[in-house]
Chain A
């Protein structure tokens, strides 16, 4: 069974640019959640996608957007990058019918905004 994978591992961008991060769900999972983990902090929920629709959103501005594809892989897009967007971005997949909503995390993408 393949776990959650994310690409790229590391990324360096400059302020004002746009970035796309990618996530492949664990086999059999149809729900993907994205989290932002700033240095020294716990992960913060950005949004969740279920069956290709946004299904919940945290306290993040609209320049954070996403997509989920029919194979349940997902993208996180961030426009107009700001210095504070520098963080580890974690993707987690889960089975919608799981009563416990246990989420399985990928290794993350480290984004640095200069």
Chain B
């Protein structure tokens, strides 16, 4: 079974500061890991994904995440926060598959990012 824990329901940073959003996962099989962003009153947009290739994954809008198997972590970072990054961020895990319940996403509870001017 898979699960995801996101540490910190709210994170506040100043514009230009480093963004670090934490995600730890549990999986009995090699996982696929995703970060999604959700802007107010919108659906989810994929930021980046780890699918067992390079452990450092680069995504859209300057975000990146590093898969660390020894720490069971997949933290999301961005060197310099922008006001437009204010949103809710979800980490999700799934197992390799071709559909069915194995292929479905298990989400963390989310971290709301605020960016101060």
Contacts and interface: CB of A to CB of B under 8 A. Distances in A.
Given A48-B101, A101-B103, A42 B96 contact: no
Interface string A96-111: 1101111111111000
Contacts of B102: 56
B99 A100 contact: no
Interface in B5-30: none
B106 interface: yes
Contacts, number: 81
A90 B42 CA distance: 10
B51 interface: yes
Contacts of B117: none
A41 B105 contact: no
A59 B109 CA distance: 17
A57 interface: yes
A55 interface: yes
Interface string A34-68: 01000011111100101000011110000000000
B95 to A, nearest CB: 9
A108 B43 contact: yes
Nearest to A42: B107
Interface of A: 4, 6, 31, 33, 35, 40-45, 48, 50, 55-58, 90, 92, 94, 96-97, 99-108
Q: Which 10 A-B pairs give the minimum distances between C-beta atoms?
A: A56-B101, A42-B107, A101-B103, A105-B43, A105-B44, A107-B43, A56-B100, A45-B104, A100-B51, A50-B99
